[in-house]
Amino acid sequence: MEGKSIVISAPSGAGKTTIVNFVLDKIHNIEFSVSACNRRQRPGEIDGKNYHFLSTADFQKKINKGLFLEWEEVYQNQYYGTLISSVSTVWEKGKHIIFDLDVKGGLNIKNKFLDNCISIFIMPPSVEDLKSRLLKRGTEDDNSLKCRIQKFEEEINYKDQFDFVIVNDNLELACDEVLNLITNFLNKS
């Protein structure tokens, strides 16, 4: 049986991983959708938990075999995608699934699952905050930082197509707001 889908989209650095982890800690019948990607693994990331880290050739092979529910070239030469098998594994356990996707992937999933899906866009308070969070996280080199800031300008144009927009200024408040939205959505028949 298909469970419900929760889509969280946000510019990189807006705080979605932090918020998703908070939600996963509070609601136990949700599981994270582990995406595949071809970017390098950051220190502290675990293959199979944060992402399935693939070579570009392996990623291409999976595209050709039709194994993705959706995939995007989120940054130049950087591919990210949701494997059909990752989603069915979660649903077979009788759980709901939470996706961390770029705006296009997020809206694709929403269009597939419609009322069985809630889509939430997380906004940073400003581009300056986004930059300082990415710098503080210390995971991006200059080029990667530049790509992410550029992408932000493009991504915010999509925000009104999401069911809800949450500004992550105060982290505690943003976590509670997202948790409430998801709890209400899951309780709705």
Question: Strand 5-9 to strand 117-123: parallel, antiparallel, or no bridges (unpaired)?
Answer: parallel
CA–CA separation, 135 vs 183, rounded Å? Answer: 32
| Residue 31 lies near ligand 5GP (rule: CB under 6 A) | no
133 binding partner (options ligand 5GP, ligand ADP, none; Cβ < 5 to 8 Å by kind): ligand ADP
Q: What is the torsional sign of CA 21, 174, 110, 186? A: positive
Nearer CB in complex with ligand 5GP: 15/105: 105
* Whether the Cβ atoms of residue 37 and residue 81 lie closer than 8 Å to each other: yes
Radius of gyration over every alpha carbon of the chain, rounded to an integer in angstroms:
16
Residue 133 found at the interface with ligand ADP (CB under 6 A): yes
Among 135, 137, 150, 180, binds ligand ADP (CB under 6 A): 137
Contact status: 12 vs ligand ADP (CB under 6 A): yes
First to last CA, the chain: 15
Q: Does 46 bind ligand ADP (CB under 6 A)?
A: no
Residue 67 CA to residue 3 CA, distance in Å, equals: 20
Q: Taking the complex as a whole, how short is the minimal distance between the CB of residue 163 and ligand ADP, in angstroms?
A: 18
State the minimum distance, in angstroms, from the CB of residue 189 to ligand 5GP: 29
The token pair at 99 is 């996706």
Q: Which residue has the tokens 């050739």?
A: 57
Name which of residues 63 to 92 contact ligand 5GP (CB under 6 A).
70, 72, 74, 80-82
Residue 38 or 62: the one with the smaller Cβ distance to ligand ADP is: 38
Contact 110, 117 (CB under 8 A): yes
Binding mask 107-146 for ligand 5GP (x = CB under 6 A): ----------------------------------------
Sign of the CA dihedral running 150, 72, 91, 115: positive
Q: Binding marks (x or -) toward ligand ADP, 161..180, rule CB under 6 A?
A: -------xx-x---------
Residue numbers at the binding site for ligand ADP (CB under 6 A): 10, 12-18, 133, 136-137, 168-169, 171
